[in-house]
Chain A
Amino acid sequence: MATRTRARRRARADATPAAAPRQGPPPILELRSATVIYPGGHIGLERASLEVTRGEFTFLVGPTGCGKSTFIKTLIREVEPAEGQVLIAGRDIATLPAKRIPYLRRRVGTVFQDFKLLPNRNVYDNVAYALQVIGASRSEIRSMVPETLRLVGLSTKIHSYPDELSGGEQQRVSVARAFVNHPPLLLADEPTGNLDPVTSIGIMQLLYRINRTGTTVLVATHDREMVDKMRRRVVRLEEGRIISDEAAGMYAQDESTTEFAVRMRAEMGVGAEGHTNGEDH
């Protein structure tokens, strides 16, 4: 399964003339001078160019309205750039026929500030939904859903409904849903926007854990303090333009998730004994 998709990806990249000849695989995502103009003339993105290589953990920061969400939306073709190109795994997604967009979205997990959970389904069904929709078999669902819920730390809440969960737990469900079919790219738009610092660290730790499995993670946030402490690559956006791209070399490449969490708590001034699930909501 894994080898087959990799082969397909490679074949696709080769077939795209837009992909310049380069050593190794193409970057998992690349923007080439992408400009997004909303109806009414508001500029969402202006000549934004960026490359993210496989396995990277990248922050997209900037004040509200700077184009972070637009950036994320262009990557799943919810918004199409008026100029420039958006390439996922070396393929210009503007060339995808509309019918293929769902297949693009299956390769890109997305997490949002408002979780977007289905309120009438329990945790298990919310996560299983993502697999049912892509036509996974019952046995695949039965093995992958519990595994993913274990990863996000919600094994004990399988039968709870979203309104019985705290904000942090709901976001974990949302992350589980985005990650359950192991997409090579995970996008998170303000994943901690509704959460307190302690809970936010828990979510960040989770995203980091997912990143450690080899998934490229791109997180849009305005939580500057969190970003500074994370010591990861930070891309700053302002009024639709990329104004800086710090490839933050400050962090130890092989930091384990536990070390990461301990350091984060210490730096954010939160006790190491603190809850990560935000049970106090």
Chain B
Amino acid sequence: MSRLGFFLKEALRALRRSAAPSIAAIVTIVVTVLLLGVLVPVLQTTQGKTEEVRDQLLLKVFGGEEATDKEVKGLQGRIERIPHVRKVEFVSKQQGLKILKERLGDDTITQELHRNPLPAAFNVFPDDADNLEAIRNDLEPPNSKGEPEPFSPIIADVEDSREEASKIRAVTGAIKIVLLAITGLLLVASLGLVGNTIRLSIYARRREVEVMSLVGATRWFVRWPFIIEGLVVGLLGAGTAVFILWLGKVTIVDPLSDRFALVAAQNTIDFLPLVAILIASAMAVSALGSGITLRRFLQV
């Protein structure tokens, strides 16, 4: 117990004395954590929006297999009268087969078919992505059991458009990769900076390390004060960064998210776990950095 006290005292004494390198290390960590704190939710928002888009954008209404083009097309007017529907596009059985052929890029499968198994369909576009659920509800009002059932027996199924979503996902995916690459590079650069700063602070105290090993300190005894110092630096740096993030969240993000749906990142990580992860990793990185850098100085 007295030993832990000794380590703590030594670490704090070192921090006070070598204030300049310590502050440099803290600033580096603040910058890194800030970047992470901003980029992680941004990345998650991109991801979250992609998922949402997949469910939205447009609905596909499929006629039954036996229903003819004419029967299905007869429903168009009714669908167009549903509130919030901007546009209804009819896709005949023939057009459906053509699209399938194009998509497969291979005629052999479609040639094997004796008849066209594809149903006629509608592409239903909403006036606003937010109203898709309402339209869907009108297309498939709940039946007596509370399960959705198409308003007409001719309709076999109502589906979300996955094709559109995947296109959008491709674009957001590209953005995500770019963001990830930038984050990765920044992280590597910051780790290098932190490591270098720690190395400087240890170099400034190599005499102390020399004396310690001279009077018979074990390696871990030499190491602990440096590791504790690293923990404190990490905690201070991450704490400062988290405070800045919190200020940004309260003053900028929260007011915006009230007004714009896109900013309200439903699928992003909560603030508290994010903070905990950031602080823990900053402390781990700087403590490990201290411990590893010290190895070199312990090879007396």
Contact = CB atoms under 8 A, between A and B. Distances in A.
Interface of A: 76, 78, 99, 102-106, 110, 116-118, 120, 129-130, 132-135, 137-138, 177-178
Contact of B216 (A103, A117, A137, A138): A103
B6 A132 contact: yes
B211 A116 contact: yes
A102 B218 contact: yes
B144 to A, nearest CB: 79
Given A78-B300, A116-B207, A120-B17, A138 B214 contact: no
B208 to A, nearest CB: 6
Contacts of B3: 135
Main secondary structure of the interface of B (DSSP, over half): helix
B216 A106 contact: yes
B162 to A, nearest CB: 62
Interface of B: 2-3, 6, 13, 17, 207-208, 210-219, 221, 300
A106 B211 CA distance: 12
Contacts of B214: 76, 105, 110, 116
Contacts of B208: 118
B206 to A, nearest CB: 12
Contacts of B2: 137-138
B207 A106 contact: no
B228 to A, nearest CB: 15
A137 B208 CA distance: 21
A118 B216 contact: no
Contacts of B213: 102, 105
B64 to A, nearest CB: 80
A177 B215 contact: yes
B300 A118 contact: no
A102 B213 CA distance: 7
20 contacts: A78-B300, A99-B219, A102-B217, A102-B219, A102-B221, A105-B216, A106-B215, A116-B207, A116-B210, A116-B214, A118-B211, A120-B17, A129-B211, A129-B215, A132-B6, A133-B221, A134-B215, A135-B221, A137-B2, A178-B215
Contacts of A118: 207-208, 211
Contacts of A178: 215
A85 to B, nearest CB: 21
Given A78-B300, A135-B3, A130 B215 contact: yes
Contacts of B207: 116, 118
| 4 tightest A-B CB contacts, nearest first | A106-B216, A105-B216, A133-B217, A130-B215
Given A132-B6, A133-B221, A138-B2, A102 B216 contact: yes
